[in-house]
Amino acid sequence: MDFSDNSSLFASLRAHMVDAQLRARGVKDERVLDAMARVPRHEFAPERYRHQAYDDHPLPIGEGQTISQPYIVALMLEALALSPADRVLEVGTGSGYLTALLAELVARVFSVERHAALAGAARDLLVRLGYTNVKVIVGDGTQGFAEAAPYDAIIVSAAAAEVPVALLAQLAEGGRMILPVGTADSQQLQLIRIEGGQPRIALRELCRFVPLVSDTHQGRVQ
């Protein structure tokens, strides 16, 4: 089947994804559900995986990386309780899919990716899709992006052995961060909220992400 220019087919697959994979599993945040019904996930998938773009699993995007499963993306976005005025830091741009969702949900998005080729492709695609409130930065996301800190929320799409301290330091009071923490085989999402200057940690779902690879000695995570 030729999926190359079939936006109405993709729109109906996307609507089904929202109902069957997200609402049915308890995702309730209507802004998150709306954003996921709008953002064309197939545009972020490599050509040969495009027909699977709305299936219930992650997709390979090259460089050994993946676009996360739609459900885990929705779960993380809902947990962050985002407001339209928020400024958000993303670590691990990858394809730019989650970046696009963030751009729909908040005022300003800063996204750090260590692979220059992935960052460049994501930046081009986000421009082509008309997102103007996003900045993609090539660098080591374990160090965050201090120039634009503090952030109302931080979302990390790769698993660290420990919570990177630089990221905690770049959260505003009341700010939230969600990230997978653990080893290659055993990871859990942690939702951290800064209250009275202190991080409060809530352990959430078990998950499986690619590793967060630190290129800098300071704040090394693995």
Return the active site residues.
68
SS3 187: strand
Cβ neighbours of residue 61 closer than 8 Å, sequence gap 6 or more: 44, 45, 46, 67, 94, 95, 118
In the complex, least distance from residue 53 CB atom to ligand SAH, rounded to whole angstroms: 12
Given the rule CB under 6 A, which residues bind ligand SAH?
61, 65-68, 91-92, 94-95, 97-98, 112-115, 118, 140-142, 157-158, 210, 212-214
Nearer to ligand SAH, 114 or 193 (CB): 114
Nearer to ligand SAH, 1 or 35 (CB): 35
Name the residue with the smallest CB distance to ligand SAH.
Answer: 94
Q: Omega of the bond prior to 150 within 30 degrees of 0, cis?
A: yes
In the complex, least distance from residue 89 CB atom to ligand SAH, rounded to whole angstroms: 11
Task: Report the alpha-carbon distance of residue 53 to residue 39 in Å, rounded.
Answer: 12
Nearer to ligand SAH, 2 or 163 (CB): 163
Task: Report the alpha-carbon distance of residue 23 to residue 36 in Å, rounded.
Answer: 11
- Tell me 209's DSSP state: -
In the complex, least distance from residue 109 CB atom to ligand SAH, rounded to whole angstroms: 12
In the complex, least distance from residue 207 CB atom to ligand SAH, rounded to whole angstroms: 12
CA 29, 31, 32, 34 torsion-angle sign: positive
